[in-house]
Amino acid sequence: MDGLARRYLEVRRQTDGLAEPLSAEDCQAQSMPDASPTKWHLAHTSWFFETFVLPGPPLEPSFQYLFNSYYDAVGPRHPRPARGLLTRPSLDEVRRYRRRIDEAVLDYIERGVEADVRARIVLGLHHEQQHQELILTDIKHLLGGHPDAPSYRRGSAPAPRARATGAPPLEWIARPGGITEIGVAEPVAGGEPFAFDNESPRHQVLLRPHAIASRLVTCGEYRAFIDDGGYRRPELWLSDGWAEITAQHHDRPMYWRGQTIFTLDGERALIDDEPVTHVSFYEADAFARWAGARLPTEMEWEAAAAAQPIAAHDNLADSGAFHPRSLPADSAGGSAGLHQIYGDVWEWTASAYAPYPGYRPAAGALGEYNGKFMCNQLVLRGGSCATPRSHIRASYRNFFPAGTRWQFSGIRLARDA
Ligand SMILES: [Fe+2]
C-alpha cells in the first residue's frame, strides 16, 4: 500500500477512535458557539477531503452547506452556533459518509495522483489532526458543564489519583540576543515535510538578550497568584483583561472547583505540581506581571525550541493522558535546558498573530485556511496533551483570541536579561 494511503487510514482511524467512548447523544450536543459537536467534526473533516481533494460532484450535495466551516469562496454555510441543531444526518449516516469518502480517497490515491493533489491530501490529514484536538477540548467543555462531571472514557475506573512529584525549581535559561532566523522555507511540492502556509517564509528576526523559564507554571504557583489577590488587583491586568474577568466573574482557571479540578477522566483533586491549564491570554499575562516576568514572544520561543527536538517522554495526545502531567523533581531538561516545550499545554506568547514578512496565502479557497484570521488573535506554541505527536514542530503557530480558555492553554515565563 502507498505510504500516503497508509498514513491516511491511520489518521482517519485515530479520529474514529476518539469518538468511540461517546454515545450518539454525546456526539450531538453543542455546549457553546465556539465548540462543535463531535458529529459535526466527523462530518466536516470528511467534507474537507470531498471539497479540496476529490474530483467530481459531491456524494451528498446538502453536506456542502451543512459542513462547510468558514470557506466563503466555497459557498454559503450553516451558522456555527447552530451546529448542535443538525439532528439530521444521524451519527450513523455521518459514519457511513466517512467510509464512502475513505473509499473514494484511497481509490484516488491508488490510481496515482499528482504532487499537488498529494499535497492537498497531506493538508487534509493535518486539518483532521487539528480537529482531533478540538474533539477532545469540545467534549471536555460539554461534559464539564454536566452536573455529574462525567468521565470522557465511559466505564473507566474513577479518575486516577495524580501523584504530586514536587516539580523541579524554576530556572532561568539565558538566551542570547542578536539576529536569528525563524519559520520554514516555502512549502515544497508534495507537501512534505509538512508546514502550514502561516509558518513561512523563513526570515530574520532581532532578539534582545533574555531568559526563558525552564518549565511551565504550575497550579500551585498559580494558586499563590490567586491567594495574593491576583484577580482583584487591576494594576496586574490589561484593560481588556480586567473588563473580561469583571464581566465574566472569572476568579480562577476554567475547570477549577475549589480544591478539585475537572479533567477528561472526571473530577479529582487539584495537584499543585501539575502545569496550570485552561487560562486565557489575559490570565497568563496578569500572572506573568505578578511574578515580575513577562510572556515570551513567539520569536524567542521558536529560537529556544528549535535547539530541542521532541522527546519520547513529551506528553502529547499519543500518551493518552489527555491532561498535563507533573514534572518529576529529578527531570533533566532537554538539550536546550527546557522542560515541557512540546505537549502538556499550548504556551501563550506575547505575539500577535500576524503574517511573516513576505507571507503569501495559497491561491483559491484554501488561501482562507490561515491568512484571513491574522487579526485580533495571539500566537500559542508547542502543542498540548491533546495534540497528536506527528502534528507538532518548533515552527507551528497556533492562534486564538485573548479570552480563549477552553483549549489546553498554559504559561511559560520569560524576562529581559
Ligand atoms: Fe476545519
Ligand 1 centre distance from Cα of residue 278 (Å): 22
Ligand 1 centre distance from Cα of residue 135 (Å): 11
Ligand 1 centre distance from Cα of residue 302 (Å): 25
Ligand 1 centre distance from Cα of residue 69 (Å): 6
Listed residue (236, 223, 228) closest to 289, CA to CA:
236
Ligand 1 centre distance from Cα of residue 138 (Å): 14
Ligand 1 centre distance from Cα of residue 371 (Å): 14
Ligand 1 centre distance from Cα of residue 196 (Å): 13
**Contact predicate 78/86, CB 8 Å:** yes
Mean pLDDT of 242-268: 97
CA dihedral 376, 379, 385, 390 (to 10 degrees): 120
Residues within 5 A (CB) of ion ligand 1: 69
Cell digits of residue 217: 507554571
**Contact predicate 273/164, CB 8 Å:** yes
Ligand 1 centre distance from Cα of residue 195 (Å): 16
pTM for the whole structure: 0.96
Burial class for 354, CB neighbours closer than 10 Å (0-12, 13-18, 19+): middle
Give the pLDDT of residue 155: 61
Ligand 1 centre distance from Cα of residue 44 (Å): 7
* Per-residue pLDDT tens digits for 88-123: 999 999 999 999 999 999 999 999 889 889 999 999
Mean pLDDT of 171-185: 96
Ligand 1 centre distance from Cα of residue 385 (Å): 20
22-36, 160-174, 304-318: range with highest mean pLDDT: 22-36
* Per-residue pLDDT tens digits for 206-216: 999 999 999 99
Mean pLDDT of 306-316: 92
Give the pLDDT of residue 189: 56
Tell me the C-alpha distance between 28 and 87, whole Å.
Answer: 7
Supply the mean pLDDT for the chain. Answer: 94
Ligand 1 centre distance from Cα of residue 263 (Å): 25
DSSP at 55: -
Minimum mean pLDDT among 70-79, 86-95, 254-263: which range?
70-79
**Contact predicate 253/283, CB 8 Å:** yes
Ligand 1 centre distance from Cα of residue 149 (Å): 28
Ligand 1 centre distance from Cα of residue 27 (Å): 17
Ligand 1 centre distance from Cα of residue 160 (Å): 33
Ligand 1 centre distance from Cα of residue 127 (Å): 6
Cell digits of residue 54: 476529490
Ligand 1 centre distance from Cα of residue 51 (Å): 12
Ligand 1 centre distance from Cα of residue 182 (Å): 26
Q: Which residues contact 75 (CB under 8 A, 6 or more apart)?
A: 64, 65, 68
Ligand 1 centre distance from Cα of residue 68 (Å): 8
* Per-residue pLDDT tens digits for 337-389: 899 999 999 999 999 999 999 999 888 888 888 889 999 999 999 999 999 99
* Per-residue pLDDT tens digits for 44-70: 999 999 999 999 899 999 999 999 999
Cell numbers 470557506 correspond to what residue? 71
Q: 25 vs 189, which has greater pLDDT?
A: 25
Ligand 1 centre distance from Cα of residue 124 (Å): 9
Ligand 1 centre distance from Cα of residue 380 (Å): 18
